[in-house]
Amino acid sequence: MAEAEVNEKKKAGSGLKQFLKLYRFLKPYRLKFALGMLLLLISSGASLMFPKFLGNMVDLGNKGKMISDITHTGLILFAILVVQAVSSYTRTRLFVEVTEKTLASIRQHLYNHLIKLPMSFFASRRVGELNSRISADISLLQDSLTSSLADLISQVILIVGGITLMTISSFKLTLFMLAILPAVALFAFFSGRAVRRFSKKAQSFVAESNTIVEETLQGIQNVKAFTNELFEIERYREKTNEVARMGIRGGKYQAAMSFIVLMFFTAMGAVIWRGASLIATGHMAAGQLFSFVIYSGFIAGNIAGMAGVYTRLQRAIGAAEKLLLLLEEPAEDIDTQKVLSPEYRLKGQITFSKVDFEYPSRKENIVLKNVSFTVEPGQQVALVGPSGAGKSTLVSLLLKFYEPTNGTIQFDGRDSKLFPVTSLRSQMAIVPQDVFLFGGTVRENIAYGRPGATDEETIAAARQANAWDFISSFPEKLDTIVGERGVQLSGGQRQRIAIARAVLKNPAILILDEATSSLDSESERLVQEALDKLMRGRTSLVIAHRLATIRNADRIIVLENGTVMEQGTHAELLANEKGLYKMLTELQFAM
């Protein structure tokens, strides 16, 4: 049991350290934050002076002092209230500004970091979960970075200051008041810790429910095609019910905190009884008791409020832990320079030398084994083989989404590790089978190949991709909205937009991943014409299942189970009677 408590304390301390790390984003606004904290001290000090002068006013009345003395004390009270109000107003304005700017910095920093993370990270994460981190978890920090911290400091000042002034006024009555405080503090602490535990569980279930929403809306066609609406409704219902259950369980502890107020008001009644007894025996003035009761109310309210602030801070600490775990993930070294250095300019030669590879999440499964081949500049090389042979993995390695487990990949005779990731990828373009289009305009999707391209350059790329005819037929032409993932366009139109994007990029190395395999005959003809123009004069790697499209390739590399089985021209491979390529060709053309 003792060990468990120690571990819990270490975990809580670690969580607080993680939360405090977020304050580095507040540095640019530290002067405004410091001014806000100074105003917080002023407003808290003014609040502490208020009960004292109220008590003085009561004593002046009891002693039959002049009206001018009472009025003078009243004016001091009014000045204290004005100072308290102005400092609180200014402090709140400053903290809101600092909070919003800091949260914007955190969101930007987290997004910038996420987008630079390697593909191995995204292979083991779900989009909905990451979206929840950057939205829901950051929202939990909204009040905690400045306001909750300020509330906590203010409450501590008022409690400590109030107890000090009460002690000066009446030591005996203060001891009487403090008799029940330890029990109340422990009650607040354990209730707050329970709320934190259930809140963290609820956050996890919220992330999972957001993932379901994200994935089902992205794949809504599949959901409807398989009539799985009720299945998804049930999945979402279960997760949201879990969120509700965790919230209800945490709410029991949060509701129990109401008894803190009851305990303190009971204590106040006892204090008034005891103070009245002291007045009766001549050991205390009425004004002192009046101030004492108000200070007691201050302390009661602030200790009760501390439980709520503590709960908010604990929720923020839980969110901070998850955010910082993401920020600790190692990112790729992305070059922010737009101009390509001449030393990294590619001529187009590619060499795989004894390359082995296994995915980090599936180390028991060797995907590529001792793969070696060379592609000369300007050559068109096709990669063929059964599904799972390793063709797409070769492309992932080429784009440096992953590094080989063993062996080397060279560009123009130099190890790929000597090239910055950005320099390599900026000189490659891929046209995949399943084209992803952003939900904006045709112009935005084509210009994604080279942001900042002019309309003339965009139209020229569309013409070369055989896409301008259908684009110009739209009433809004380049400003036509393509819809989520390009849903407003046909498969052939999406492919030609992707080709136009690649044309605009003007890559040294072109990768075609079964770009025509899912098209009808007319679309395939138009797309293939565009691809032939795009491949002309540049190194091209073509992944193909439809072997008829690669007969004219300079070389065909045949893969099976991650191994190069044979390579050569179409005619050379057909001449091998027992070769895998000949068998695949016969099977395909026999169908």
Q: How buried is residue 170: exposed, middle or buried, by Cβ count under 10 Å (0-12/13-18/19+)?
A: buried
d(CA 55, CA 166): 12
When mean pLDDT is compared over 293-297, 359-363, 386-390, 393-397, the highest value belongs to: 393-397
- Angle of helix 286-327 relative to helix 2-21, nearest 10 degrees? 80
Give the mean model confidence (pLDDT) for residues 377-404: 85
Contact yes or no for 236/198 (Cβ under 8 A): no
pLDDT for the residue numbered 149: 72
Structure tokens belonging to residue 50:
């208020």
Q: How far does CA 17 lie from the centroid of its chain?
A: 20
Confidence of residue 226 (pLDDT cuts 50, 70, 90): low
Out of 222-226, 342-346, 390-394, which region has the weakest mean confidence (pLDDT)? Answer: 222-226
When mean pLDDT is compared over 176-185, 213-222, 551-560, the highest value belongs to: 551-560
Give the mean model confidence (pLDDT) for residues 425-436: 81
The more confident residue out of 252 and 81 is 81
For residue 122, the tally of other CB atoms under 10 A from its CB is 13
Give the mean model confidence (pLDDT) for residues 355-383: 83
- SS3 sequence of 39-108: HHHHHHHHHHHHHHHHHHHHHHHHCCCCHHHHHHHHHHHHHHHHHHHHHHHHHHHHHHHHHHHHHHHHHH
For residue 214, the tally of other CB atoms under 10 A from its CB is 17
d(CA 533, CA 518): 20
For residue 570, the tally of other CB atoms under 10 A from its CB is 18
- At 230 the three-state DSSP class reads helix
pLDDT for the residue numbered 66: 60
φ, ψ (nearest 5 deg) of residue 404:
-60, 145
φ, ψ (nearest 5 deg) of residue 474:
-75, 140
Q: What is the largest CA-CA distance in the chain?
A: 122
d(CA 10, CA 131): 29
* Residue 79 clears pLDDT 80, i.e. is over it: yes
* Residue 221 clears pLDDT 50, i.e. is over it: yes
What are the tens digits of pLDDT across the range 516-568? Answer: 655 666 666 777 777 777 778 888 888 877 776 777 788 888 888 888 888 88
* Residue 458 clears pLDDT 80, i.e. is over it: yes
d(CA 257, CA 79): 35
Contact yes or no for 27/106 (Cβ under 8 A): no
For residue 266, the tally of other CB atoms under 10 A from its CB is 12
* Residue 74 clears pLDDT 70, i.e. is over it: yes
pLDDT for the residue numbered 11: 45
Q: How far does CA 248 lie from the centroid of its chain?
A: 27
Out of 147-151, 357-361, 409-413, which region has the weakest mean confidence (pLDDT)? Answer: 147-151
φ, ψ (nearest 5 deg) of residue 309:
-65, -40
* Distant-in-sequence, close-in-space partners of 498: CB < 8 Å, separation ≥ 6: 431, 432, 435, 437, 515
Average per-residue pLDDT in the chain?
A: 76
User: The domain 349-427+510-521+538-591 is classified under which CATH number: 3.40.50.2000, 3.10.20.90, 3.40.50.300, 3.40.50.10540?
Assistant: 3.40.50.300
d(CA 150, CA 128): 33
Domain boundaries along the sequence of the chain:
14-327, 349-427+510-521+538-591, 435-506
What are the tens digits of pLDDT across the range 10-62? Answer: 444 455 566 667 777 778 888 888 898 888 888 888 877 777 766 666 666 65
* Distant-in-sequence, close-in-space partners of 296: CB < 8 Å, separation ≥ 6: 166, 177, 264, 267, 268, 271
d(CA 438, CA 408): 35
- At 431 the three-state DSSP class reads strand
Could you list the beta-strand ranges (E) of 365-421: 366-375, 380-384, 406-411, 414-415
Amino acid, res. 473? S
* Residue 5 clears pLDDT 60, i.e. is over it: no
Q: Terminus-to-terminus CA distance in the chain, angstroms?
A: 70
User: Which CATH homologous superfamily contains domain 435-506?
Assistant: P-loop containing nucleotide triphosphate hydrolases (3.40.50.300)
When mean pLDDT is compared over 35-39, 212-216, 328-332, 365-369, the highest value belongs to: 35-39
Structure tokens belonging to residue 387:
């599904």
Give the mean model confidence (pLDDT) for residues 425-442: 81
User: The domain 14-327 is classified under which CATH number: 1.10.630.10, 1.20.1560.10, 1.10.4100.10, 1.10.760.10?
Assistant: 1.20.1560.10
* Residue 190 clears pLDDT 70, i.e. is over it: no
d(CA 153, CA 556): 71
The CA-based angle 127-131-133, given to 5 degrees, is 120
Do the domains 435-506 and 14-327 match in fold?
A: no
pLDDT above 90 covers what percent of the chain? 0
* Distant-in-sequence, close-in-space partners of 99: CB < 8 Å, separation ≥ 6: 142, 143, 145, 146, 147
Confidence of residue 144 (pLDDT cuts 50, 70, 90): low
Give the strand pairing for 555-560 and 380-384. parallel
The more confident residue out of 97 and 207 is 97
pLDDT above 70 covers what percent of the chain? 75
Amino acid, res. 428? M
Confidence of residue 3 (pLDDT cuts 50, 70, 90): very low
pLDDT for the residue numbered 585: 74
pLDDT for the residue numbered 208: 73
* Residue 8 clears pLDDT 70, i.e. is over it: no
d(CA 221, CA 203): 29
For residue 575, the tally of other CB atoms under 10 A from its CB is 11
**Which residue, among 21, 36, 7, has the nearest Cα to 316 in the 3D structure?**
21
What are the tens digits of pLDDT across the range 485-512? Answer: 666 777 778 888 888 888 888 888 888 8
